[in-house]
Amino acid sequence: MYFANLITRLPADVVERTWAEVREPPRHRVYQPFLAYPFADVLRWLHAVARHEHPRVSLLEGLRLLGRDTVRVFTRSSAGRVVASMPRSLEETLLKMPEMWALTDPGNDVVAHLVDGEARAIAFRFHGFEGWLDCGVIGTLEQVVIENRVAPTIDLALEAGWRAEMIVRWSEARS
């Protein structure tokens, strides 16, 4: 789903340069929604788009902004519109994120739980998640919260060995 969107956002010369770097290109250079592709290839496309669309910010900030885009792209897809139409609170949505990541990135281990004693706060524990926790995942979680018309605050503690803890908090609903 996201590959096709990423590729259309790049000029032809950048697309050709990126295809030359891809380790396992799909047949006929066409990515199919919801199929598993090598993470290294995902990174190549994400880097290319982040550099192209956000040339005046750091790569990490560009990737954070792209993390927000993944939510927008999904919510505009047929599957995303169905999911978005299901009545669910922001809290329930955030608590379901580990299940979504298990489908899209099966090699990772993410657990989410309510933060004791805090309203409007969900803690995430990441282990073996080889994505950009400090930018891409933050952007994704930011956009999930923003889609609910509230402001996010995210605290992140990175640890060695692809481990991290993140706490997502949000303001009260705007009127």
DSSP string, 14-37: HHHHHHHH-SSPPGGG-PPTT---
Convert the pLDDT of each residue in 5-53 to its tens digit.
788 999 999 999 999 999 888 888 888 776 777 777 888 898 999 999 9
Residue with the bigger pLDDT between 64 and 39: it is: 64
* SS3 call for 110: strand
The model's confidence at residue 153, banded by pLDDT at 50, 70 and 90, is very high
Paired with 168 in beta bridges are: 122, 154
Residue 13: CB atoms within 10 A of its CB come to 8
State pTM to two decimals: 0.69
Query: Does pLDDT of 82 surpass 70?
Result: no
By the 10 Å C-beta count (0-12 exposed, 13-18 middle, 19+ buried), 92 is classed as exposed
Paired with 111 in beta bridges are: 125
Measure the CA–CA gap between 174 and 31, rounded to whole angstroms. 39
Paired with 22 in beta bridges are: none
Mean pLDDT for the stretch of residues 156-167: 86
Nearest to 115 by CA among 168, 171, 173: 168
Q: Which domains does the chain have, with CATH numbers?
A: 2-79 (no CATH), 88-170 (3.90.1520.10)
Check if the beta carbon of residue 50 is closer than 8 Å to that of residue 66.
yes
The model's confidence at residue 2, banded by pLDDT at 50, 70 and 90, is low
Convert the pLDDT of each residue in 91-147 to its tens digit.
999 998 888 777 766 777 899 999 999 999 999 999 877 666 777 788 889 988 998
* Locus of tokens 């982040």: 50
* Locus of tokens 């949000």: 170
Residue 87 is predicted with a pLDDT of: 64
Residue 40 is predicted with a pLDDT of: 77
Mean pLDDT (the chain) is 85
Residue 48 is predicted with a pLDDT of: 95
